[in-house]
Amino acid sequence: MTKDERTASDSARPPAGEAPTGQGPPVLASLNAGSLGVAIGFAVAAAVMFTPFFAPPFLVLLGRSLFLAMVLLLAFVGVQRLPERFLPFGMPRWLATVLAVGIAAPLGTFVVYLLSVGGSVSAFVGNPARMTGFFIIAGTALVLGLVITLTAQLREREARARSQALEFELERSRLEKQAVDARLALLQAQVEPHFLFNTLANVQALVESNSPRAAPVLASLIAYLRAAMPRLHEGEPVLATELALVRAYLELMQMRMPDRLRFEIAVDPALERLRFPPMALLTLVENAVRHGIDPAEDGGRIEVGGVREAGADRLWVADSGVGMAATAEPGTGLANLRARLAGFYGPGAELRLAEQSASPPHGLRAEIVLPR
Partner 1 sequence: MPKPAPPRALIADDEPLLRERLAGHLARLWPELQVVAQARNGREALALFDEFTPEVVFLDVHMPGINGVEAARGIGARAAIVFVTAFEQYAVQAFEQGAVDYLVKPFDEPRLAATVQRLRERLAAVPAPASPDLAPLLDRLAERLAGQLGAAAGAAQGPRHLQWIRASVGASVRLIPVDEVVFLRSDEKYTLVVWAGGEALIRKTIRELADELDPARFVQIHRSVIVALPFVAQVVRGANETADVHLRGRPEVLPVSRSFVHQFRQM
Q: Which is nearer to partner 1, 121 or 353 (CB)?
A: 353
- Asked if 261 contacts 296 with a C-beta cutoff of 8 angstroms, the reply is no
Least distance from C-beta 200 to partner 1, angstroms? 5
List of residues 6+ apart from 171 with CB closer than 8 A:
16
Question: How far apart, in whole angstroms, are the C-alpha atoms of residue 332 and residue 290?
Answer: 14
Applying the rule CB under 8 A, the residues between 328 and 347 that interact with partner 1 are: 328-331, 334-335
Q: Would you say the C-alpha torsion 332, 333, 338, 342 has a positive or negative sign?
A: positive
Least distance from C-beta 299 to partner 1, angstroms? 8
Q: Which residue in 57, 118, 193, 212 binds partner 1 (CB under 8 A)?
A: 193
- Asked if 250 contacts 290 with a C-beta cutoff of 8 angstroms, the reply is no
Listing DSSP states for 126-142 in one string gives: T-HHHHHHHHHHHHHHH
Applying the rule CB under 8 A, the residues between 224 and 263 that interact with partner 1 are: 255-260
Q: Would you say the C-alpha torsion 185, 187, 188, 189 has a positive or negative sign?
A: positive
Q: Which residue in 13, 130, 262, 301 binds partner 1 (CB under 8 A)?
A: 13
Using rule CB under 8 A, residue 26 touches partner 1: no
Strands (E), the chain: 261-267, 300-308, 312-319, 350-357, 362-371
Using rule CB under 8 A, residue 365 touches partner 1: yes
- Asked if 248 contacts 227 with a C-beta cutoff of 8 angstroms, the reply is yes
Q: Which residue in 209, 212, 233, 360 binds partner 1 (CB under 8 A)?
A: 209
Q: Which residue in 91, 103, 154, 200 binds partner 1 (CB under 8 A)?
A: 200
Q: Which residue in 55, 122, 208, 212 binds partner 1 (CB under 8 A)?
A: 208
Q: Which is nearer to partner 1, 39 or 296 (CB)?
A: 296
What is the phi/psi pair of residue 224, to 5°? -65, -50
Interacting span for partner 1 (CB under 8 A) from 60-68, 98-106, 225-233, 289-297: 289-297
Using rule CB under 8 A, residue 352 touches partner 1: yes
Question: How far apart, in whole angstroms, are the C-alpha atoms of residue 313 and residue 328?
Answer: 29
Using rule CB under 8 A, residue 355 touches partner 1: yes
Using rule CB under 8 A, residue 204 touches partner 1: yes
Question: How far apart, in whole angstroms, are the C-alpha atoms of residue 274 and residue 313?
Answer: 9
Residues lying near partner 1 in the complex (CB under 8 A): 1-2, 5-11, 13-17, 24-25, 83, 193-194, 197-198, 200-202, 204-206, 208-209, 255-260, 290-291, 294-297, 299, 324-331, 334-335, 350, 352-355, 358, 361, 364-365
